[in-house]
Chain A
Amino acid sequence: MAQAPAPEQGYLETLQLEEIRIYVGKDTTGEHAIHDQQFTAVEQVMERNSAINLVRRGNFAMEPMINGMSGGQINLTIDGMKLFSACTDRMDPVSAYVETVNMDKLEVATGADGGRHGATVGGSINLRLKQPEMRMNKSLKGSAGVNYQSISQGYNAFYNLDYSHNNLGLRYSGVYRNHGIYKDGHGREVMFSQYEKMNHALNGQYQLSDDRKLIFSFIWDDAWDIGYPALPMDVAFARARIYKAGYVWSRLSEHWKSLEITAYGNNITHEMDDSQRDVVIRMDMPGWSNTYGLNMDTDWKLGSHFITARAEFFRNDVRAEMTMYPAEGVSMFMLTWPDAVRTAGGIFFQDRIPIGQSVWSNSLRMDVAHNEIKSQTGMAQLEVLDYEYDGADTRQALNFSSTLMVPVGQYWQAEFTGAFAERFPTVTEQFGFFLFNSQDGFDYVGDPTLANEKAWQFTSGVYLEKGAFRINMKAFGYYFKDYILGRIDEDLDAMTLGARGVKVYENQDNVWMAGLNSDWSVAVTDHISYHGVAEYTVGELEGGAKLPMTVPLAMTHTLNYKNRNFGAEVDYEFVGGRNKVNKISGETPSDAYHIFNAKAAYQQPVGKYTIKWQAGVDNIFDVAYRHPLDWGGILRPGRSINVGVSCHF
């Protein structure tokens, strides 16, 4: 069968190259991974992808990067919804507002392939929410669990309840996490690494007929008392309300396969403060981000063409303030994000044409964005910097990507992609006002006249699947024009006490990066499997300086054993040392490290329930280590024992 795949199957197989999907824990016990993934945060699930790394500033809300690109360079969406962080210091990536218990899968696309979810140079991560199941036989099902982690004396609890009756399906899930400060591999307490959070989510669908349904989701996420050891400030609270409602048609006609229209909104409030720190001047930095949008997705099959299209529209309002309270004297105030409003629309087309056994895929995305500063104070602040900017600008972006997937011999497939990618500057890059970056110690100032960042991208990959062995390898090279990076401006005085100076965002040409992503797996026996992930990136700025935030060689090996009711897993993680650093962006050399983790789970049927016992040890050898991308030289947690139990019905 595998030797002569049907054309349709071949087509679906090649799809895996373009977009990598990581399925998060299934609700039904039988399909469970070794551990309940619900205990882990979304970022930790992401990190298993060979293209994704996390920038760590604390033990919470780590910021995802795709091949060394982050922030405005990538799209981070929830169910295709646009969300924009409310924190000027990137303490609240969107992924911090969803939980694994409410997630179905991650959809990861690198480079211009991520264009479906917005103009991007780095790629996209879409966090697909779980939809309630429509069951005939069982109206109610659910699960609940709690686990304990010794290193932070923390616990994670989750529960979910699925209800299905006639045409209605509802899914309610919740998570509570409470973690104290953790100890690193030297046994030293890492101060300000605590956090506490709660998340509730309600997803629903109502089947109007066989091919039409209404869907909705509501997420309520509150986190508070979050420490950021690598930063001079903590977070008093971070709050997100995310909601959407949509209408889904499938099989509209022979050619028109589906149409989905979704309206959504989200309101994020983020309150940064340093009331717990020993500071000369107390400071509050609240931020707000509100987004409202409309998405339209459709799939067509015209002749041999598979066409996917999206039209979207959104409006995002952000504001961030800084108020300082000296022990004596008047308080000081400024707007760090000046009531900036972005109204944008975009269309995306993708056409996949099977040509014999090959598939040729072309995608095109066009965006128009209008940026405006609504605040007079914000405009007055820009005046101080002497910018010629009348308070509004309109810009366009174009993304184009062409991929050819060719089967080579019986088992191999090769892939070649050429793409042009373009992305808009972020609010911080355009309008940010003296935002302190504790990694490099500079205050950052935006430039409203920045050009869009552009990149030419070439990717080639191979994919092999033969019996129990599967490997996926991808090499990429990006060449940037107008790469957006902070440059030191000697004429400006830093505003933050103790800052080294001021950097102004500017466009730079002749920036390149290249890298390798690979993952593979072998089913050794029916019960034992082995899985590996490797990545390597390298890049340079004009003049030969190292591109910041690139990852040296990193590998993860996982050995997995699974037998009816028992499962066990051993992880080995290696990250190479880094000597060549970009000093001016605050990077410091880091050592290579080797980490071992192990875990086991046993599930026990009790009547109609299934009880799942699980235990594990992370960082078995209590290694004191830090990832090259971690901020502030803060070490990661030392040896931690976790025990947990969950019940599924």
Chain B
Amino acid sequence: MKLLFKQLYLIAFTIALFSACSEDDDPKITADTSGLELLHEQVVADADLVIEVYSPEAPFSGYNELYFLLKKASDDALIESASLTMTPMMAMTEHSHSAPTIQPAESDQREGFRKGAVIFTMPSGDMGKWTLSVKVSGLDSGNEVAFDFEVPVISKEASYQAQDTKYKTVVRKVINDEKYFFAYHLPEGKPAIGANDFEVYAYKQLDMMTYEAVDGLTMGIEPEMPSMGHGSPNNVDPVSKGNGRYAGSVNFSMSGDWAIWLTVEQESEVVLTDVAFYLEF
């Protein structure tokens, strides 16, 4: 009797173990898309591939996180092995150009996603439209897939009630005959009352298609509520972290309209001032 129980127990244990293993092996992770907007869905039937592109909010001129999800068309299983590159493109009648881009890589925050970013340097409009070209390679099938789609990029400035030409979401500035771009990013997501991690990205344009991250600048920030005329204490100026990223912290003592005044120094010389990143929440 005792032996029989022991055997039964072993069998049960083995089944449990195997079923656990088989679940682990199942690549069918349900990707959490909460808080994301679907920008585009590309079905490539002959490559058994679906590519979904998400962003946390409607793309705007400035720093935009982009999330990619690669799935098998047949069973929705996530594909993890492939590599993915993207190229934003502003198609204009005269001089078409690209934008500063951080290529997608496995996301730390969202399991199963690849996360990249594009700093759209201007909104879509009559002048031209933004498209995003995406290339997928390294698929098990050996196929290479390429597609592009249009990204409508809005101008947040246009929706602000506090109209001031100094309020920006992306700053363009010619410094020493080179075209620089600065954009802000809140890595924790949406702005909230309290201390917010605050990042500034700095890039310069080498040619119409090439942008280079700029490190080693000295930045200063000063938040202000334009409608009230006051700021907030204990902010941390962003410092260079490499790859064009500058990390600091900004304090919002209340919700409402906030302008974060930005000063940039290059080799102890002020190269940018009297301009603010603006946001409302």
A interface residue numbers (CB < 8 A to B)? 281, 322, 324, 326, 328-335, 377, 379-381, 383-386, 433-434, 491-495, 497
Contacts and interface: CB of A to CB of B under 8 A. Distances in A.
Given A332-B227, A332-B228, A383-B194, A493 B280 contact: no
B233 A332 contact: no
B233 A380 contact: no
B227 A281 contact: yes
B193 to A, nearest CB: 5
Give the interface residue-count category, chain B: 20 to 34
Contact of A377 (B193, B195, B233): B193
A384 B227 contact: no
Given A330-B256, A332-B228, A380 B161 contact: no
Given A334-B193, A377-B194, A380-B194, A495 B254 contact: yes
A135 B257 CA distance: 66
Nearest to A387: B234
B152 interface: no
B249 to A, nearest CB: 10
A400 B197 CA distance: 49
B234 A384 contact: yes
Interface in B149-194: 160-162, 192-194
A12 to B, nearest CB: 57
B256 A384 contact: no
A265 B254 CA distance: 32
Contacts of B229: 497
B14 interface: no
A329 B234 contact: no
Nearest to A375: B193
Contact of A332 (B161, B192, B234, B256): B256
A329 B252 CA distance: 17
B193 A381 contact: yes
Given A332-B227, A380-B195, A383-B194, 17 more contacts: A324-B256, A329-B160, A329-B161, A329-B280, A330-B280, A330-B281, A333-B193, A333-B255, A377-B193, A380-B194, A381-B253, A384-B194, A384-B251, A384-B253, A385-B234, A493-B231, A493-B233
Contact of A434 (B162, B251, B253): B253
A328 B160 CA distance: 10
20 contacts: A324-B228, A328-B162, A329-B162, A329-B227, A329-B280, A330-B255, A331-B256, A332-B257, A334-B254, A335-B193, A377-B193, A377-B194, A380-B194, A383-B194, A384-B195, A385-B233, A386-B234, A494-B230, A497-B228, A497-B229
A330 B257 contact: yes
B195 A330 contact: no
Contacts of B232: 384, 493
B178 to A, nearest CB: 36
B251 A495 contact: no
Contacts of B86: none
Nearest to B196: A380
Given A494-B230, A495-B228, A333 B256 contact: yes
Interface in B178-235: 192-195, 225, 227-234
Contacts of B281: 330
Q: Which of B225, B232, B254, B257 is most buried by chain A, counting CB atoms within 10 A of its CB?
A: B254
B228 A380 contact: no
B198 to A, nearest CB: 13
Interface string B89-104: 0000000000000000
Q: Which of A379, A380, A491 is most buried by chain B, counting CB atoms within 10 A of its CB?
A: A380
B230 A332 contact: no
Contacts of A495: 228, 230, 253-254
Contacts of B193: 333-335, 377, 380-381, 384
Contacts of B162: 328-329
A378 to B, nearest CB: 9
Contact of B227 (A326, A381, A491, A492): A326
A244 to B, nearest CB: 38
Nearest to B233: A492
B49 to A, nearest CB: 41
Give 3 nearest A-B pairs by CB, closest first. Answer: A380-B194, A332-B256, A334-B254
A497 B227 CA distance: 9
B248 to A, nearest CB: 14
Contacts of A330: 161, 255-257, 280-281
A328 B228 contact: no
A380 B230 contact: no
B230 A328 contact: no
Contacts of A380: 192-195
Contacts of A385: 233-234
Nearest to B230: A493
A496 to B, nearest CB: 8
Interface string B234-260: 100000000000000001111111000
Nearest to A491: B233
A531 B233 CA distance: 56
Contacts of B280: 329-330
A272 B233 CA distance: 27
A277 B253 CA distance: 25
Contacts of B230: 493-495
Q: Which of A326, A493, A497 is most buried by chain B, counting CB atoms within 10 A of its CB?
A: A493
Nearest to A497: B228
B252 to A, nearest CB: 7
Contacts of A386: 233-234
B252 A384 contact: yes
A637 B281 CA distance: 46
Q: Which of B162, B232, B251, B256 is most buried by chain A, counting CB atoms within 10 A of its CB?
A: B256
A495 to B, nearest CB: 5
Nearest to B229: A497
Contacts of A492: 233
A380 B251 CA distance: 9
Nearest to A499: B230
Contacts of B255: 330-334
